[in-house]
Amino acid sequence: MTAARRRCLGGSVLLACTFTVAQAVPADDRIEGLARDFFPNAEEVEDFEGNPRAAAVMGGDHRLLGYVFLTDDVVKIPAYSGKPITVLVGIDTQGEFADVQIIEHSEPILVTGVSEEDLAAYVDQYRGKNVEDRIKIGAQHAEGYERIDGLTGATITAMVLNASITRAARIVAASRGIPLPQRPARVHAQEDEERGVERADMTGADERARAPGAQEGEESLWVPLWRERKVRIGVLAFGLLVLTVILFLQDWLTRYRSLVRYIRIGFLVYTLVFIGWYGLAQLSVVNVLTFTNALMRDFRWETFLIDPLMFILWAFVAVTLLLWGRGVFCGWLCPYGALQELVNKISLRLKVPQLEIPPIVHERLLAIKYVVLLGLFGLSLQSMADAVRYAEVEPFKTAINMHFMREWPFVLYAAGFVIISAFNSKFFCKYVCPLGAALTIPGRFRIFDWLRRRKECGHPCQICAVECPSQAIRPSGEINLNECHYCLDCQITYWDAYKCPPLVEKRKRFRKRGRELKLKVE
């Protein structure tokens, strides 16, 4: 299809979407041009009408060739962005897909991660397949299924596209008398008073799955994703269980300096390699914006259940926010934060000099991430797609999701903060990260404060304040839990009888008393 025709298509779709479902929308020259692309023998494209809404494409002698329709006129399956993907679909009278074309999307992964050519190549695979086919993405050949290739780096979006295209096609086919392999679904429209549009529901084809248009016995969209990733889910659940045990036993564990440090380094490697580079479960401020956007518009759990690792991780983070604050995620479960911290630990081993930022400057720099968060939130209210583009202030996609395999400006930006972390631990996390800023807000309502302090902390002892890698301990000795990454370094010092001054003094007193007692005995 030519670029001019694609532009015409976009305009015609936007025009069609302005009409209510109850009205018949006339097919103009642009729609007719698109129909001729889908159906080379087309001579006439009738109005978009009926329930669900579709336009009949007629050939010579007024012979019906098929129908064209927009998926979100038929089913509304929210994708990762929380919004449906608008797809124009053409099916012939035998139920075969004549062509499929994506019109509009707001997918975060697609805005910067996958090209439009990749997207077009994915939907091209539907051409020639039948609405009766059970289409499976990226799996090995299985009896009764038609296989298509997935979208690398956009599995969830591919699943939503597949469900939207196939389910909408089945509904339109059933409503227009195109035979299906099972009893036809009874299609009726339910008026949504708030939105003033009609939504198609199926009775008989899928009564338990809330997404309409599924074949009888077909599962909800998120169920097979969870089943296919059960090994990854198990590994993640085990890791979160280990972290929970660490948090509950922190008073005992932090008495053993070497043990805690080995455990922490091992867990950081697990977070970076498994959660990040392998599982691609790097949480992002985009997830926060998507969630708030869904709360204000059309919240559905299915939107978030379609990525099992992200869903489980967010559920765990939500609990830890209320119990301990943001530090558990920022210090233990953020892959990019783990990468920075591991680089800093290596640099300390190599005795690389550290850049110390004065406390007064540090306090001022902390405001940057909150300003970034407010800017992105305000932008998301106007345009989620624009907010996602500017959310590239987070280098997570480049460093974690795309393994630094990207255009050089993105790589330079992501690698730059990693290099800076060799001289100042987790510089990006402390001063720039909008996700950390977003987590601070609910984290202020935390229930527990299990980080122990002594009356001598800050007056006169400054050991923990000087050594804290996130500079979350004020000179007064108070821990700023809004900035604490829960690394437990200060707790190790708290129990160290050879480092914590009050314990050192107590140990010396006991030793002196022991010597005096020995002399008396002698």
| Ramachandran quadrant class, 90 (left: phi over 0; alpha: psi -120 to 50; beta: rest) | beta
For 407, list phi and psi in degrees, rounded to 5.
-60, 150
The tens place of each residue's pLDDT in the chain, 522 residues long, gives 444 444 444 444 444 444 434 455 555 566 667 777 899 888 888 888 888 989 998 888 888 999 999 898 899 887 766 678 889 999 999 999 999 988 887 776 655 567 778 888 999 999 999 998 888 887 566 667 788 888 876 777 888 899 899 999 999 999 998 864 444 433 333 334 333 333 333 333 333 334 444 455 556 778 888 988 899 999 999 999 999 999 999 999 999 999 999 999 999 999 999 999 999 899 999 999 988 888 887 777 877 888 899 999 999 999 999 999 999 999 999 999 999 999 999 999 999 999 989 999 999 999 999 999 999 999 998 888 889 889 999 999 899 988 998 889 999 999 999 999 999 999 999 999 999 999 999 988 988 889 999 999 988 899 999 999 999 999 888 999 999 999 999 999 999 989 999 999 888 888 776 665 555 555
Angle subtended at Cα 292 by Cα 287 and Cα 298, rounded to the nearest 5 degrees: 110
158 and 266 co-located in one domain? no
Cα–Cα nearest to 87, from 163, 165, 154: 165
Q: Which pLDDT value is given to residue 206?
A: 37
151 and 236 co-located in one domain? no
251 and 388 co-located in one domain? yes
204 and 261 co-located in one domain? no
For 98, list phi and psi in degrees, rounded to 5.
-75, -40
74 and 204 co-located in one domain? yes
Question: Tell me: the pLDDT tens digits for 461-476?
Answer: 999 999 999 999 998 8
| Residue 518 domain flag | no
Length of the chain: 522
Helix 230-248 vs helix 308-323: crossing angle, to nearest 10 = 10
| Residue 382 domain flag | yes
Q: What is the DSSP letter of 457?
A: B
Specify the number of domains making up the chain: 2
| Residue 413 domain flag | yes
Domain boundary at 184, 219, 254, which? 219
Question: Tell me: the pLDDT tens digits for 274-284?
Answer: 999 999 899 99
418 and 344 co-located in one domain? yes
Q: Distance between CA atoms of 35 and 16, rounded to whole angstroms?
A: 15
| Residue 515 domain flag | no
| Residue 351 domain flag | yes
197 and 259 co-located in one domain? no
pTM over 0.85: no
77 and 20 co-located in one domain? yes
The one-letter amino acid at 178: I
| 472 in Cβ contact with 436 (< 8 Å) | no
414 and 339 co-located in one domain? yes
37 and 183 co-located in one domain? yes
| Residue 514 domain flag | no
Q: How many C-beta atoms lie closer than 10 Å to residue 412's C-beta?
A: 13
Q: What is the DSSP letter of 185?
A: P
What are 200's strand-pairing partners? 189
Residues near 288 by Cβ (< 8 Å), separated by ≥ 6? 435, 438
Q: Which pLDDT value is given to residue 20?
A: 39
Q: How many C-beta atoms lie closer than 10 Å to residue 9's C-beta?
A: 19
Domain boundary at 219, 251, 282, which? 219
| Domain boundaries, position 352 | 229-452+469-489
139 and 235 co-located in one domain? no
Q: Which pLDDT value is given to residue 7?
A: 42
29 and 168 co-located in one domain? yes
| Residue 521 domain flag | no
| Residue 511 domain flag | no
| 80 in Cβ contact with 160 (< 8 Å) | yes
